[in-house]
Amino acid sequence: MSGAAALDPVVARPGRMPLWLRPRAAWLAVPGLLFLALFFILPVIQLFGVSVRDPQTLEFSFAGYRRALGATVYLRVLQNTFVIAAQTTALCILFGYPLAYWLAGLTARVRSRLILLVMLPFWTSALVKAFAWLVLLARYGVVARVLGAISPTGQAPDLLHGRGAVLMGMTHTLLPLAVLTMLPVMLRIDRGLISAAGTLGAARLQGFWRVFFHLSMPGVAAAALLCFIASLGFFITPALLGGRRDAMIGQVIIEQIQAVLDWQFGGALAAMLVGSALLTCLVYDRVFGLSVVAGDGGERAAGDWLRRIGLAVLAGCGNGFTWISEAAARVLRGHRFGWVLPCYAVLLIGFLMIPTLLILPMAFTSSRFLEFPPPGFGLHWMEVYFGSPLWMSATLRSFAVAAATAPLAALIAGAAALAVARSGPRWGRLVFAVFLGPIIVPTIVTAVAQFYLFARLSLVATTLGLVIGHTVIALPICFVAMVAVLKGHDWRLDQAAATLGASRLRVLRHVTVPLIKGGCLAALLFAFITSFEELTVALFISGGLKTTLPKQMWDDVLMAVNPTLAAASVIVLAVVFALFLIAERLRPPSTQAGRL
C-alpha cells in the first residue's frame, strides 16, 4: 500500500497537515456520530431501559433478568449460542485460512474475480440458503441418494436437523467474512521475509509457520472476532436446519417480542446478548487491539501484560504447528503436495457457490414445490413473480429504499472517514468504535430497539424509517471501505497541487475527487447491496405495510413455500451480483480484494 507509508508521517506530525484542513477535519465525523447516537445508540439504551422497568407500573424491576437467569432454559440457550458461535468461528478460521492464503498468492486480477465468487453466499439471503440446503440435504435429496448408493448399508445418515447442519449452514455464511478479513493482512506480509528466512537456513515449512503464519495472526484474530460476534445473532439458520437442542438466543428474542409481546423480557435477553458481545470485544481489544479489525495490520505498540500473553500464545501456536509439520514432512520424505492447496481452494469455492447455483434450476422449474433436480423447465414462477403486484411493489420498494440509503450512508461514512484520515488517532479511535458499533451489536437487537423508538417517532411502516434503519446497518461496511480508500490516497499529491498554487476547490475537484471517486462509488454500492438484501430490520420496521423484497420472501416462507421464492431470489442475486461486479471494477487496485 503506497498510501499508508505516505499517510503515517502526516498523522504523526499534524504540523505538516495543510492548514485548511486542520481545524475542520475532525468535525466531519460529527454528523455521523450524531446520526448513530440518535438512531443506534439511543434506541439500544432505551431497550435496555425497558428491560429494567415493570411494564405496568414503570417502576424499576429486575424481573426480566431474574426470569432469564432463574429458568435454566434461557441459560441453556445462551450457553448453546456461545458454543455454536465458537464452533462456527473455529470452522471458519480452519477452512478459511488456507483459502485466504491461496488467494493471497494469486495475481490481483484473478484474485478479484475469485473473491466475487467467494462473496456470493454472503450476499444471498439466509432464508434462501437455508431452503436450498433443506432441499439438497433432504432425506431423499441428491446428496442422501449418492451417500446411500455408496454406503454399505444402503442407508444415508440424516444430514439435516442437527448441530452438524447448523454449523455447516453458519460456517457457509460466515466463511467469506473470515477469508476477506484475513486476506488484507496476508497481502501486506512481505513474502521476501520468507525468502530471507530461507537464506538463513529455515526450511520451507519453517519459513511458513515461523514467519508467514506468525505475521498473519492479527488477521486471524480479527476474523475470529467478527465471525464470533456475527454468529451470536443468527436465528434463521438454526431454526430451519437445527434440531430441538440447537435453539439460539436470537430466536427467543424474536418470539418474546413478536409473539408474546413481552418487551421487558425480550429486552433483558437482548441486553444479555449485547453484553456478551461487548465483553468479547473488550477482551479482544485488551489482547489483540481492536484496530486490527479495521485493517490496520499488526503494527501496534507492545502493550501491557495481557497483550504480551496474546502474542506469546500466537507464537506458541506457530511453534507447535512448526513441530507438527516438520514431523509430518519427515514421515512423507519430502513429497511435495503443491497441488493440494489449489484443489482444496477450488473445492471450497465450489461448496460456497452450491446454494446459489441451486436456486437457478429451482426458479425455472415446472414443479409446484422447491425441488432439486427439477422435474422440468418452466417459466411459470417467473411469470407469477412478475405478474404479482405484491412482489412487484416489494421489489420497487427495495430499490427505492436502497437508492436512498446508499447516498446517505456513503455521505455520512465518507465524511467520517475523511475525519479519521485527517485527524489524530485518539479521535479516530472514538469514531471507529462508534461506526463499528452496528457490527458489534447483533442486528436483531438493533432492529428490535429501532422498532421501539421508531414507533414513537411514527417511523414504523414508513419508507423513511426503513432508510434510516438500513443506513445504520450499512454504515460500518461503508465506513471501512471509505477509510481504506482514503488510506490508499496519497495526500502529498494534494499538497503538491496546493504548493503549485491550486485553490482548495481546485485541489478537491482535479486531484482528490478523481483519485478517490472509484472507491467512494464502490462504498456506495456496498451500502446499496446491504440495504437491498437486508431482512432483520425490515422484519420489524416495515410493519407489514411497507414490505421490502427480503421481507416479502420471509412472509412467503411462512405462508407457502413455492418456487416464487427462488424466482425472487434470482432477481435479488442478479441485482447484487451486477452491482458487486461494478463496485469491484470501480475500486482502485490497491484496495481491491481487501475489505468487505
Binding residues for other proteins, rule: CB under 8 A, are 50, 53, 55-56, 58, 71-73, 76-77, 80, 134-135, 138-141, 158, 160-161, 239-240, 243-245, 247, 252, 258-263, 368-371, 390, 452, 454-462, 543-545, 547, 555-561
Instruction: Provide φ and ψ at 60, rounded to 5°.
Output: -60, 130
**Burial of 190 per CB tally in 10 Å (0-12, 13-18, 19+):** exposed
Q: How far is the CB of 563 from other proteins (least distance, A)?
A: 12
Q: Which is nearer to other proteins, 141 or 219 (CB)?
A: 141
Q: How far is the CB of 53 from other proteins (least distance, A)?
A: 7
Q: Which is nearer to other proteins, 131 or 528 (CB)?
A: 131
Q: Which is nearer to other proteins, 162 or 588 (CB)?
A: 162
437 and 503 Cβ atoms separated by less than 8 Å: no
Q: How far is the CB of 143 from other proteins (least distance, A)?
A: 13
| Contacts of 462 by beta carbon, 8 Å cutoff, 6+ apart | 546
215 and 207 Cβ atoms separated by less than 8 Å: no
Q: How far is the CB of 72 from other proteins (least distance, A)?
A: 7
Q: Which is nearer to other proteins, 526 or 540 (CB)?
A: 540
**Burial of 486 per CB tally in 10 Å (0-12, 13-18, 19+):** buried
Q: How far is the CB of 437 from other proteins (least distance, A)?
A: 23
Q: How far is the CB of 551 from other proteins (least distance, A)?
A: 11
- Cell numbers given for 593: 480484494
Assign 365 to helix, strand or coil: strand
Q: How far is the CB of 552 from other proteins (least distance, A)?
A: 10
**Helix or strand run (H / E) with residue 77:** helix 72-104
Q: How far is the CB of 469 from other proteins (least distance, A)?
A: 14
385 and 578 Cβ atoms separated by less than 8 Å: no
Q: Which is nearer to other proteins, 159 or 230 (CB)?
A: 159
Q: What is the largest CA-CA distance in the chain?
A: 83
Q: Which is nearer to other proteins, 129 or 422 (CB)?
A: 129
The CA distance from 337 to 43, in Å, is: 54
Q: Which is nearer to other proteins, 326 or 371 (CB)?
A: 371
The CA distance from 580 to 394, in Å, is: 22
Q: Which is nearer to other proteins, 292 or 566 (CB)?
A: 566
Q: Which is nearer to other proteins, 161 or 504 (CB)?
A: 161
Q: How far is the CB of 271 from other proteins (least distance, A)?
A: 16
Q: Which is nearer to other proteins, 125 or 592 (CB)?
A: 125
CA end-to-end distance (rounded Å), the chain = 17
The CA distance from 130 to 88, in Å, is: 16
Q: Which is nearer to other proteins, 422 or 470 (CB)?
A: 470
Instruction: Provide φ and ψ at 595, rounded to 5°.
Output: -85, 180
Q: List the beta bridge partners of residue 377.
A: 365
Q: How far is the CB of 135 from other proteins (least distance, A)?
A: 8
Q: How far is the CB of 311 from other proteins (least distance, A)?
A: 39
Q: Which is nearer to other proteins, 30 or 73 (CB)?
A: 73
Helices (H), 105-241: 108-123, 126-136, 142-150, 163-188, 192-199, 204-206, 214-232, 236-241
565 and 553 Cβ atoms separated by less than 8 Å: yes
Q: Is 243 left (phi over 0), alpha (psi -120 to 50) or beta?
A: beta
- Cell numbers given for 547: 414490505
Q: How far is the CB of 251 from other proteins (least distance, A)?
A: 9
- Determine the distance from the C-alpha atom of residue 194 to the mean position of all C-alpha atoms in its chain, rounded to a whole number: 31
Closest CA to 537 of 438, 408, 457, 432: 438
Q: List the beta bridge partners of residue 365.
A: 377
